Structure 1
């Protein structure tokens, strides 16, 4: 039985500005295991991070035309896609909190977005988030994440155990 739903939308440009203005926000919101290629980008410094993020609009246009990236551009594209991925993961975390019904005792690192061998996203819960899910008898969360038109969106359905 469905016991909760949540949806959240993240403006990619706003997310990028926040990450540029306060780079440590990425570490506050995401465990290292969630950051993937993003952690490599963080080590390169704010200047290269800003230049990679500024290319998001161009990459989106390129993706819309379905033209493959040039090999020299692929590294920057991977970093940009990582920011898009993190924005989607942030939307997923926000949507899960809404499906839980409360953000009490919720810490960002207690809910991690993980991917299976096929790239399908799901949650790994711990701490206060796992306790709240157990208290509400939630046995499974269904998660869908999408990116389009400058936004990342996530939809979560909480199902009873």
Structure 2
């Protein structure tokens, strides 16, 4: 039903976060996401990857932020030992329901300089049995 990919330059993202981290995070991420952010050297990579996943999800939906969709309408979380998951609420959930998207596959990766996310949106009847 849709595919989205987004890449974030970590040096640019670090500059964006300097002095604005608290405001940016509280405006962009839900508390369930913030609770999973690590401290230390991998923090910026982690947050940038989650941000890229939100952008990739929008692309898979075929819309942008501001069209009745906020950053917090797309939540990216992960349970230990499992892949990250996309959870929608608000305007994003409404949009997905209107176009028939019921499932999400998400992959996030990092290097020293970039974070990238790829999201595939499918309808329930398009998912093969596991």
Work out whether the TM-score is over 0.5: yes
1:79 aligns with 2:36: no
Instruction: Name the counterpart of 2:127.
Output: none
CA distance in 2, matches of 1:37, 1:102: 27
TM-score norm. by structure 2 comes to 0.86
List gaps (5 residues or longer) in structure 2.
Answer: 125-130
Which residue, out of 36, 58, 68, partners 1:97? Answer: 58
CA RMSD after TM alignment: 1.6
Instruction: Name the counterpart of 2:35.
Output: 36
Contact 2:36 2:77 in 1 (8 A): no
1:69-112: CA deviation from partner (whole Å, max 9, x where unpaired): xxxxxxxx942212211100000000000000012211111111
Larger Rg: 1 or 2?
Answer: 1
Report SS of the residue matched to 2:42: helix
Report SS of the residue matched to 2:69: coil
1:156 aligns with 2:119: yes
List gaps (5 residues or longer) in structure 1.
Answer: 39-76
Aligned length: 121
Contact 2:33 2:77 in 1 (8 A): yes
TM-score norm. by structure 1 comes to 0.70
Contact 1:37 1:82 in 2 (8 A): no
* Runs of 4+ residues over 6 Å off in structure 1: none
CA distance in 2, matches of 1:37, 1:97: 22
